[in-house]
Structure 1
């Protein structure tokens, strides 16, 4: 039986000062600061609290190299209570990824790679025979509590000579499974103006702020018409920072034109966690503070907006009766050098620093600082 404890003197991102009382893994009370009662009181003065951060694009299957990492290294140790693996595994290995949840303290969901190989190789859509519709449909049905969508990486290095055909097949699989698509965009061909019209409401464009020549903005920084049309029909914009998919110049242009992220995600794996430019979720979030997004909007992009897409609104709120799923963090006023995927550098005067999470009823201090 877990004990009753109080997180005292926290701040919501809107500035409200609160205590949160947790008993046996659930939030039992959200009350005015100083009023929460419990057998154990943790003084959290100076810290903000939000619902637990959700990273919509990670690679959490450590057996694959280079795109793999340990779940908790990119989860709770970074202040992230829920991760969504973005297509590391296809039908061949999705059962292994699903089984790994039993050994993790971070909540895990996944996009199923439409290639049965997944990221066992980095050109997984170059051979159309690797798109096994029957196996994908079977996997989606068997792991329907775990798989939240289908992943298709539609860029030159992945599809090679297959062109748009993998995306057309992904669209068919989406219809057969009732699962939305997450589509990785990057270098062409296929040309971005052919890719985006194939996406529908609730599909996700990940890497939408990449600085490659095949990106979603013209030479003057204006959004392409295909992007504007996609937004109008309900396509979801996800950052997916990664090693090669985030440009400050593109992000600044996007903000000028009010093309804002629905979700901020890292595309983190071992290499870009240890060596940059990603490092951590907090480091990526700090880039959006630098860009001028208000704190409430930045945090919503990794809490309520991500939870809404997942169809799990309880993950994006702090409410009595819900499972305790929280992230504690501070804002540190200190010059911090930020690098994008192009080697472009900015210096921020403030950064977000995770302090701890409450996951599965337990308060856990973060081990990773930004």
Structure 2
């Protein structure tokens, strides 16, 4: 007898799947669990899809900020996302408070610590290099080793002002001293130049906003991929979508795909404003955009499950496997029409709709259809 039994589901590859959950872990998984029963049974009637819980490795959900903030549950379990990683909203000064707030959330919440100790209290948090404090950051990581999963450096002109890639170099140095903690790098308007940023990045570093349509992006004015982009990709820099209000472009994404520069992970860069007013809205809409530019459902599901878990060493998440956390997303994929908008206001009509219907976080089932009644 399982605590929860998912019956007659299918994987993103259209294979039958049934899952048994006890407590907070997956304990059995097979195309058919013969003779199984559960205290709570979810019969999907061979219609709905089942995947490991969706993970968004770039969100902004520290509710006490004024620029970029949200409730983690609005970005999380209510939209089919079982785990969110806040991407640098907080630094050493306020990340402990963020941690305390998130303990009452239903969604799993982790954080990348901002290399600037104040976090994003203001847009230019790295305009003063004195805000980069090694001792304060090390103390925070020591205090919250199971919450802080990486370091975030925002490398665009409005953030660093005249400090160029100094914050990134500090992040790289600190990460190495902390045991190769992953580093995520935000890119935007220059200076600093994207080429200089990427030359400082190495294998396992995460480039977010990789597919933006800005002049300082991967595509030049002739629609060609800049040569240094290939160099970074080939040496193992991880390309992450990081959609956001300003950082995803259909044309850039297609050019990159056609040249073999596929994203490893798909994230939203969601916060309350682009969730409520677009163009992000939620993870499912962001996934629909990836289907629209030509990726298959299995490719997209990997981008929001195994890939972000691997990026940030969340070894018990992102996988449907006995012994792993019982974080599961159940969703439908149907034919229909929906207007999809990128960060530059370009619109396309999508024809595949992804709708999460249940989110399971640590073995607890949340029925999303009931929430919308």
Bin the TM-score by the shorter chain.
over 0.9
Q: Deviations over 1:140-177 (max 9, x none)?
A: 22212111111110001111122222222222222332
Is 1:27–2:26 an aligned residue pair? Answer: yes
Q: CA RMSD in A?
A: 1.7
The corresponding residue for 2:48 is 47
Once residues 146 and 3 of structure 2 are traced to their aligned partners in structure 1, the CA distance between those partners, rounded to angstroms, is 30
- Tell me the residue number matched to 1:261: 263
1:3 shift after superposition:
6.7
Structure 1 position 89, deviation (Å): 0.2
Residues 171 and 308 of structure 1: CA distance in aligned 2, closer, same or farther (over 3 Å): closer
Aligned to 1:37: 37
In 2, distance between residues paired with 1:40 and 1:182?
Answer: 40
For residues 53 and 242 of structure 1, what CA distance do their matches in structure 2 show?
A: 17
Name the structure 2 match of 1:114: 115
1:346 & 1:265 partners in 2: Cα distance?
Answer: 20
Contact 1:208 1:216 in 2 (8 A): yes
> What is the SS of the residue equivalent to 2:75?
coil
> Match for residue 94 of structure 1?
95
Q: Is residue 8 of structure 1 aligned with residue 7 of structure 2?
A: yes
- Supply the distance in 1 between the matched residues of 2:12 and 2:200 (Cα, whole angstroms): 37
Instruction: Give the corresponding residue for 2:236.
Output: 234
Secondary structure of 2:38's aligned partner: coil
Tell me, yes or no, if the aligned pair for 2:19 and 2:33 is still in contact at 8 Å.
no
- 5+ residue gaps, structure 1: none
Matches within 5 A, 1:217-296: 217-296=219-298
Offset, 1:17: 1.3
Secondary structure in 1 matching 2:66 = coil
Q: Is the 8 A contact 2:182 2:204 kept in 1?
A: yes
How many residues align? The count is 368
What SS does the corresponding residue of 1:316 show, helix, strand or coil? coil
Residues 2 and 20 in structure 2, CA contact (< 8 A), matched pair in contact too:
no
Matches within 5 A, 1:154-193: 154-178=155-179, 179-193=181-195
Q: Aligned equivalents of 2:176 and 2:310: distance in 1?
A: 21
SS at match of 1:298: helix
Query: Are the counterparts in 2 of residues 115 and 131 from structure 1 also a CA contact under 8 Å?
Result: yes
Equivalent-residue separation in structure 1 for 2:334 and 2:66 (angstroms): 34
Instruction: Please say which of residues 215-224 and 91-100 is displaced more in the overlay.
Output: 215-224
Point out the more displaced range, 293-302 or 15-24: 15-24
Structure 1 residue 321 corresponds to structure 2 residue 320:
no
How many angstroms does 1:49 deviate by?
A: 0.4
Q: How does 1:295-310 map to 2 (within 5 A)?
A: 295-310=297-312
Separation in 2 of the partners of 1:40 and 1:196? 49
The residue aligned with 1:209 is: 211
Q: Once structures 1 and 2 are overlaid, which stretch shifts more, 35-44 or 58-67?
A: 35-44
Matches within 5 A, 1:357-368: 357-366=359-368
The residue matched to 2:161 in structure 1 has which SS? helix
Give the Cα separation in 2 of the matches to 1:115 and 1:261: 27
Report the secondary structure of 2:219's partner residue: coil
Q: What residue in structure 2 maps to residue 125 of structure 1?
A: 126
1:299 Cα deviation from its structure 2 partner: 0.3
Structure 1, 217-226 or 290-299: larger mean CA deviation: 217-226
Report if the CA contact (8 A) 2:67-2:122 is conserved: no
Further displaced range: 201-210 or 357-366: 357-366
Report the Cα offset of residue 187 of structure 1. Answer: 0.5
Do the aligned residues in 2 keep the contact of 1:9 with 1:34 (CA within 8 Å)? no
User: Is the 1:115–1:132 contact (alpha carbons within 8 Å) kept by the matching residues of 2?
Assistant: yes
Structure 1 stretch 162-171 or stretch 195-204: which is displaced more?
Answer: 162-171
Q: Is the 8 A contact 1:6 1:22 kept in 2?
A: yes
